[in-house]
Amino acid sequence: MGERREIKPSCFDEIGRMNQQIEYKNVFYPPGGLLLWMIIALELTTFGIALLVMLFFAKEDPVLFHESRLQLNVTIGTINTVLLLTSGFFMANTVHELRQNNRSKAQRYLLLTMLFGLLFLVLKVIEYAAKIEAGLVMDTNDFFGFYWMLTFFHVIHVIVGLVILSTVLWGIRKANQPLKMEHVEGSAAFWHMCDLIWLLLFPVIYLIL
């Protein structure tokens, strides 16, 4: 009798095996659901279009936009950028710790996430108060019309994000009940969207024009 030859799996067999391991549910039902990701895409598109319109107006009257931009507090804008990025870092760590089922550590990271988000809002209120005191309101000129509309709309997103994160914190503290990671990851996606929107707004409004 001849020797038995070991049949090695072909590359097509390996591809088939890998395809079986793909969780198609996660492709079609991402964390937070398709609706959340559609909202995120819509929000990013809306801010993107608004910034393009602002740049178009700036091209039509560059002197006005440049002189108006110089009246903004770049220091506060820069600090707020650092605050949001740091907050996003702690949010990523929150998700990581929850995946490891470490609720106590995740809670600390989430509290830091919310703290830096609140500090962002505090500085924004200080900045807004200074602008109102100087008479730089929404109807001052086109630049400040865009400034107030875009930054205040972003502030609303941050407030909504903090409310969402507070529900996640409440769920983490209920140690006797299971926590759905889909909800946590969806909340994190919304919070990171706030970071990304600010990273679009800050350079255009505070630095470029």
When pLDDT is cut at 50, 70 and 90, the band that residue 33 belongs to is low
3-state secondary structure of 79: helix
Distance CA 44, CA 181 (A): 24
Two tokens at 10?
């072909």
Two tokens at 58?
């700036």
When pLDDT is cut at 50, 70 and 90, the band that residue 30 belongs to is low
Average pLDDT over residues 159-183: 87
pLDDT, averaged across the chain: 86
> Of residues 145 and 27, which shows the higher confidence score?
145
| The pLDDT of residue 16 | 47
Average pLDDT over residues 16-38: 57
CA distances to 3, 34, 107, 122 from 189, rounded to whole Å, are 58, 12, 17, 23
Q: What is the pLDDT of residues 46-79, one digit of tens each?
A: 999 999 999 999 999 999 999 999 999 999 999 9
What are the φ/ψ torsions at residue 207 (nearest 5 degrees)?
-120, -45
Which letter does DSSP use for residue 209 in this model? -
Would you list the domain boundaries of the chain?
A: 31-208
Given a contact cutoff of 8 angstroms between Cβ atoms, the answer to whether 92 and 114 are in contact is no
The superfamily CATH assigns to domain 31-208 is Cytochrome c oxidase, subunit III, four-helix bundle (1.20.120.80)
> Which residues lie below 8 Å from residue 202, measured CB to CB, with a gap of 6+?
77, 78, 80, 81
Average pLDDT over residues 174-178: 75
Average pLDDT over residues 4-21: 48
Distance CA 108, CA 122 (A): 21
